[in-house]
A and B are shown apart, each in its own frame.
Chain A
Amino acid sequence: MIIPFLLILLTLAACGSEKQQLTTLVFGRGSDSVGLDPGLETDGESFKVCDNIYETLVAYHSESTAILPQLAHSWDVSADQLTWTFHLRRGVHFHDGTVFNAEAMLFSLGRQFYKDHPHHKVEGGYRYWKDMGMDDILAELAAPDDSTFVIRLKKPNAPFLSNLAMNFCAAVSPTAIKKYGRDYFKNPVGTGPFRFIEWRKDERIVLARNDNYWGPKAKLDRLIFKPIQEAAIRFLELSQGTVQGLDNLNPEYIDEIRDNPELQLLTQPGMNVGYLAMNMDKAPFDDLRVRRAINHAVNKQALVDNFYQGLALAAKNPIPPTLWGYNDKITGYAYDPNKARALLAEAGFPDGFETELWAMPVPRPYMPQPDKIAQAVQADLAKIGVRARIVQWEWGTYLDKVSNGEHPMALLGWTGDNGDPDNFLYVLLDKAAAVKPAQNIAFYKSEELHKVLVAARISADRDQRSKLYQQAQEIIFHDAPWVPLVHATQTAAFHRGVSGFKLHPTGSKWFHSTAFTP
């Protein structure tokens, strides 16, 4: 019974497998996008596609988080640093044929900013806009003429320019938003090098080259994003050539990719940090010697070797080394159980103490196996006499409880948004973030650090900011509110014939210069 069926299938399939003429790159990934409205989305899988459809006023350098012109060819800042005037590129069109101008930019940002904007009300709100504090930064948006766009700020804010390079500040076609309304998220229209063709949920998103692009045109005819949930199948498809690129590789396949001459592996330290926060509102973690002892007790390199298969970097600072302002002079707390025991004895705990170590119940990009990390840290702490019980809660409850400071020690992490050190240091360690429900879950309240971070936020001078952030890292190193654990590496693999793709610290995936070289 099965055999004739098989034969029919194979004949039919043989008719179907004609050579494809378009240069198409199929990029495999673990899950589908949530939506393609850059203002609404918060997940990486959505941004990966948006990166290629949309553009922003300013953009990141292809290999760093330095800021370059994009839809604005230049900009001026007033002396008081409150008025930013962007001079827009002319002759740019959206994929639907409408013209990109200052009015369109005003619409794109204005729908997120002005409460009375006709497109302001969306379920869940424009989350990234809020998360990046845009409402507190901006005072007014204006479009005095077609090619001039003005942003006025409430107070000077340097990281704001980096925010403008993020997906949520992309130019969206006002015509398309008015036309599709709540269904715009599946009918995206931008100005980028690729235009949207079709989306079959959980199956594929197809983009085609934008032949009317204002800059150098993309080299691929088609770009297809295909969700394949199983890591083994994803890898199999890559080896068979039905998929030509993958990201977020499972560590177990890394060696195989390295050994396969048909494949190429790309890696880069990711813009993230996984950390162990000690709740400074609770004894004994209010004692600096205890916090330092814990820092000396944890063997970070062993974590990297055992649970990341080497695809991570042991951390010494809260920010990853791919960010500007990283302080490489800081030595970090070396793994030294004897020193840790001595510090504990000095603090009055010669026999250690009992405590709890909280761990996330779900894998996170910066910590794929939090339960195993927790067990390893537990074992490390036991060696210095600290008997930590591992505590886990359901994910929502976990976040709720740690943000309210119910934990003595907790694992957590962060993935950077805009490539500015402020986005790590101020958000996670400033005293302003230690108000419940807090993101500063060490409840670390340093006046000295606050002053430095605020100064760095206001200054427009990048070198000066860089120095201030280096100083901030020294203060944090001294006070040791966390054990910074790891920076997980981001990975991608491509077929040998694929060229021109670069990993970016922000995790953005741009395919405009990607090509096949036979």
Chain B
Amino acid sequence: MYRFVLNRFISLVPTLLGISFLVFLMLYLVPGDPAQVMLGERANAESLAELRATMGLDQPFHVQFYRFFTGLLSGDLGRSIRTHEKITTEILQRFPATFELTMASMLMAMTVGISAGIWAAVRRGKIADLLSMVLATAGISMPVFWLALMLILLLGVFLPLFPVSGRLSTHIYFEPITYFYTLDALLQSDFEAFGDILWHLFLPALTLGTIPMAVIARMTRASLLEVLGEDYIRTAWAKGLSQRMVVLRHAVKNAFIPTLTVIALEFGYLLGGAIITETIFAWPGVGRWLFLAVQARDFRAVQGGVLLLATVFVLANLLADVLYAWLDPRIRYDKK
């Protein structure tokens, strides 16, 4: 098991190297001069040349790549051209916002999705099954921006229970330490802030969690139904076990493997910063930041950001692989 995990970790290195090269190459080849975009209507020959020189854009490809790569190895992604800020600082301040949102939405998606899936499978063909699957299909097909606006209309306007933007009320002040606000508030035993943070988290998390929730529900139902048809389950029934024992102890564990894949993938996607949700709810996460960086041709920020997201995605997949191996020993292929 340890060797399996170690091997998977080692295989990350070439993957990430490849990604960093690709990211660099793509930004190098993309049309449009970053200096020109940054200076806009005010660009003139002198200011263009000067900006290109300070950004190192006047250097040949291999020099630019060498600089980027050595910086990367020493953990220095440079400063953002757009915001003068260190890219690592930008990411460290924004990633926690995205992470918190992702965790909250996945928590909702998993609890509701898995329970609904199990419920539907157990009551296959009955009203409950039909209802939860209709809801799940609706959840999958709903565009995020529409869902976000409907939730805002419902729970922010008609029934004004929740705030519609930001992570914190404007009258709440506390010192951010890790930028994981829930954690920071708890560390400082500031329960007023903690409540305020959760309160702000609810609508965006529900918006972001709806699609994974629906996917998880459908996946859980499908795989549970398959498992419930297997011989060993029939044996379990024959032994006279209660429904609770059969479903929860015998079936769910095996049915969970495909669901886990979905969860890990969704997790990876969500950590990439859900640009639409972040934009609508004015959530200061990485997605929105990266979007602005791309628009401004802030290539250093884009390189750093994409690399981070790729790493997170690869790590989420790795975690899923490890969990698989743990749940299903047959997957540890490296073991003889």
B282 and A35 within 8 A (CB): no
Q: Which of B32, B42, B48, B169 has the most chain A CB within a 10 Å cutoff?
A: B42
A227 to B176 Cα, complex, angstroms: 19
User: In the complex, which residues 9-41 of chain A have their Cβ closer than 8 Å to any Cβ of chain B?
Assistant: 9-13, 15-18, 20, 22, 24, 26, 31, 34-35, 37, 40
In this assembly, does B81 line the interface, its C-beta being within 8 Å of a C-beta of chain A?
yes
Check if A353 is an interface residue, CB within 8 A of chain B.
no
In Å, the complex CA distance between A400 and B112 comes to 53
Q: Contact at B166–A226, with CB atoms within 8 Å?
A: yes
The reply to whether the CB of B108 lies closer than 8 angstroms to some CB of chain A is yes
Q: Do B81 and A203 touch (CB < 8 A)?
A: no
Partner of A399, one of B36, B173, B282: B36
Cα A123 to Cα B84 in complex, Å, equals 8
Cα–Cα, bound, A18→B195 (Å)? 12
Asked whether B76 is an interface residue with its Cβ less than 8 Å from the other chain, the reply is no
Distance between B132 CB and nearest chain A CB, rounded to angstroms: 13
Contact A125 B164 (CB under 8 A): no
B171 at the interface (CB under 8 A from A): yes
Contact of A34 among B83, B115, B193, B282 (CB under 8 A): B83
Nearest 3 pairs between A and B by C-beta? A12-B195, A202-B284, A396-B32
Count of B interface residues, CB-CB < 8 Å = 70
A201 at interface, CB cutoff 8 A: yes
CB distance from B100 to the nearest CB of A (A): 13
The DSSP consensus for interface residues of chain B is helix
Q: Are B163 and A242 in contact (CB under 8 A)?
A: yes
- In the bound complex, do residue B115 and residue A229 qualify as a contact, i.e. CB atoms below 8 Å apart? no
Query: Besides A226-B166, A395-B32, 18 other CB < 8 A contacts?
Result: A2-B108, A9-B195, A10-B161, A11-B195, A12-B191, A22-B171, A123-B55, A130-B50, A131-B47, A186-B85, A200-B284, A226-B170, A230-B279, A233-B164, A233-B165, A233-B281, A397-B31, A436-B45
- List residues of chain B with CB within 8 A of the CB of A13: 195-196, 198-199
Cβ–Cβ contact A236 & B164, under 8 A: yes
CB neighbours (8 Å) of B94 from chain A are 201-202
Interface string of B153-195 (1 = CB under 8 A from A): 0001100110111111111110010000000000000011111
Which residues, 69 to 118 on A, are CB-close (under 8 Å) to B?
none
B46 at the interface (CB under 8 A from A): yes
User: Which chain B residues have a beta carbon within 8 Å of chain A's beta carbons?
Assistant: 31-34, 36-48, 50-51, 54-55, 79, 81-85, 90, 93-94, 108, 111-112, 115, 149, 152, 156-157, 160-161, 163-173, 176, 191-196, 198-199, 202, 279-282, 284, 288-289, 292, 297
- 26 A–B contact pairs at CB < 8 A? A9-B199, A12-B194, A12-B199, A13-B195, A16-B196, A17-B169, A34-B82, A34-B83, A123-B79, A123-B81, A124-B38, A125-B51, A125-B54, A127-B47, A185-B85, A202-B94, A202-B288, A203-B167, A227-B282, A228-B282, A229-B280, A232-B149, A236-B156, A395-B32, A396-B34, A439-B42
| Contact-residue size bin, chain A (C-beta under 8 Å from the other chain) | 35 or more
Bound-state Cα–Cα, A232 to B194, Å: 27
Assess the B282–A16 pair: CB atoms within 8 A: no
The answer to whether B282 touches A230 (Cβ under 8 A) is yes
> What are the interface flags for A184-210 relative to B under an 8 Å C-beta threshold, 1 for contact and 0 otherwise?
011000000000001011111010000
Distance in angstroms between the alpha carbons of A396 and B34 in the assembled complex = 7
A15 to B34, CA, bound (A): 49
